[in-house]
Amino acid sequence: MKKLLPTSTVGSLPKPAWLATPEKLWSPWKLEGDKLLEGKQDALRISLHEQQLAGLDIICDGEQTRQHFVTTFIEHLSGVDFENRKTVKIRDRYDASVPIVVDEISRRKSVFVEDAKFLRKQTNKPIKWALPGPMTMVDTLYDNHYKSREKLAWEFAKALNEEAKELQKAGVDIIQFDEPAFNVFFEEVNDWGMATLERAMEDLNCETAVHICYGYGIKANNDWKKTLGSEWRQYEEIFPEIQNSNIDIVSLECHNSGVPIDLIELISEKKVMVGAIDVATNKIETPEEVANTLRKALEFVAIENLYPCTNCGMAPLSRKVAQDKLNALTAGTEIIRKELSI
Ligand SMILES: [Zn+2]
C-alpha cells in the first residue's frame, strides 16, 4: 500500500431495506431467484459508492451478497445440511440456528468469486475480501460427521484455501480471515487454530489479514464484554503465535474497548488494522476521537504499518449511522495526515 494510513472497514455494512430486513443479523432476503441476484449486485454497487464517498482507501464488498459472514460460506459446501438447522451455543456465548455437517466436506464450486470479479470491475482501488477463518467456522455449526473440531477445521482450511486462491486470481488485493473465535478458545488457537489458518492462507501471493474482535454490537456480545473487567488481555494469549505466523495484517478492536493498546507491541512485525470506530453504539465518533485512537496506536506501531479501520463489521447498524461512522473514520485519519504532513 503506497498511501500512508489507508482506511477501510472490517467488512460488513448494512444492506438496503429492499434487499434484507435492516439492523438484524441473519436477516432473510426479500427477493428471490434472478431478482435476488440482481438486487445483490445493485447493493454491491451502492456499497462501493458509499465507501468511495466516505473516501475509504481499501474497498470491501460490504458483504452485500451474503446473509452471514460464516454460514453463507458453509452453506455452499457439500457435506452440509443447511435446511435442517440446529441451535447451538456459539463462542460459548449465545444460541444461533446453524447448518449441520452430515458428510465429508468439499467445495464443489466457488462461493464469492463471481462477486469479487464484479466488484473488481467497478473500482481501481485496492479491494479486500473477508472469509471466515477455520476455527470460527467450526464454532458456527453443528458437526454430526467428523466429531472433532480440529479435523473439521483442517477440512475447512482446505476449502478456504481453494476459494482464497480463486479470489486472488480475480484481483483481490487483501484476503482477510475473520477469527473472532480466537479471542475465546486460546488453547485451541495454539494447538491447531493458527496452523489451520495458515493452511487456509497457503501459497497466496496477495496480502493476508486476520480479524480478531469482540464481536458485532449485539446484546450477547455487549453483555459478555461487561464480564471481562477493566483490562481485556485476550489478545495477549494469541499475539505471540500470530507474530510467528505468515499473516501480513492483524485487524483489532481498539476504540471504546478495554484492550490495552500497548499489546500491539507483541505483533511488532505485522501491519495493524486499528479499530478506531466502535460498532456497538449508534453514537458517532468525532474525527478528533478517531485521531486520538490513531495517535495512541502510533506510539506502538510504525506509521507505514498502521491501517485505520473499524472495530468489527457494521451489518447490524442503520445505514445512516454506518455512513456517518465511515465519514468520521476518514476525517479523523485526515487530521493525523495533516499533523504529520503526509
Ligand atoms: Zn469482528
pLDDT in tens, 327-337: 999 999 999 99
Distance in Å, CA 257 to ligand 1 centroid: 13
pLDDT tens-digit readout, 262-308: 999 999 999 999 999 999 999 999 999 999 999 999 999 999 999 99
pLDDT class of 217 with cuts at 50, 70, 90: confident
Distance (Å) from CA 10 to ligand 1 centroid: 7
**Domains in the chain with CATH codes:** 33-70+102-133+146-339 (3.20.20.210)
- Dump strand ranges (E) for the chain: 78-90, 94-106, 128-132, 142-143, 174-178, 207-212, 249-252, 271-275, 306-309
- Indicate the pLDDT class of residue 25, thresholds 50, 70 and 90: confident
The three-point CA angle 317-283-41 to 5° equals 25
As a whole number, the mean pLDDT across the chain is 95
CA of 314 to the centre of ligand 1 (A): 9
Rounded to the nearest angstrom, the distance between the alpha carbon of 315 and the centre of ligand 1 is 11
Q: Taking residues 164-176, what's their average pLDDT?
A: 98
| H or E element that contains 339 | helix 319-339
- Environment class of residue 259 by beta-carbon count within 10 Å: exposed (0-12), middle (13-18) or buried (19+)? buried
The predicted-structure confidence for 59-109, as pLDDT tens digits, reads as follows: 999 999 999 999 899 989 999 998 999 999 988 888 988 999 999 999 999
- Can you give the pTM of this predicted structure? 0.96
What is the Å distance from ligand 1's center to 181 Cα? 10
State the distance from the centre of ligand 1 to the C-alpha of 109, rounded, in angstroms: 26
